[in-house]
Amino acid sequence: MKLTYDLSRDEKAHYLHIQGDLIGDEVGPKLVEVVSDAIQEGARTFVIDLSGVRYISSSGIGLLITMLTKMRNVGGEVYLTSPSDHVKKLLIITKLNNIFTVFDSVEDFKIKS
């Protein structure tokens, strides 16, 4: 399933809503560029909504880590929201659940952050 995404933002964060399979294909570098552009605009909080993601490959995991690294290098943070059960298991297996803060939904992030 081809990856698509859209962006939004509010006073708390920039939001990246992803739909499809996060496999690090040709869209991958664009996602990293989206984070880089947000950093240039002064963003320090980036929320990646995974509710529409059904599969993540090792390259997709690499993309998430690259985005996190870019934000942390400027004192920012990346949060993940709404992972499916499959994606939650992957985050646990790879121990990324210890690196990323994961919220049940974007609304949950807005309430708790």
**pLDDT tens track for 85-107:** 999 999 999 999 999 999 999 99
Q: Phi/psi at 53 (nearest 5 deg)?
A: -100, 125
Instruction: Report the predicted TM-score, pTM, of the whole model to 2 decimal places.
Output: 0.94
- The answer for residues whose C-beta is within 8 angstroms of residue 79's C-beta and 6 or more apart is 13, 45, 46, 47, 48, 100, 101, 102, 103, 109, 113
Q: Is the pLDDT of residue 7 over 90?
A: yes
CA–CA distance, 92 with 99 (Å, rounded to integer): 10
Q: What is the mean pLDDT of the segment spanning 19-38?
A: 91
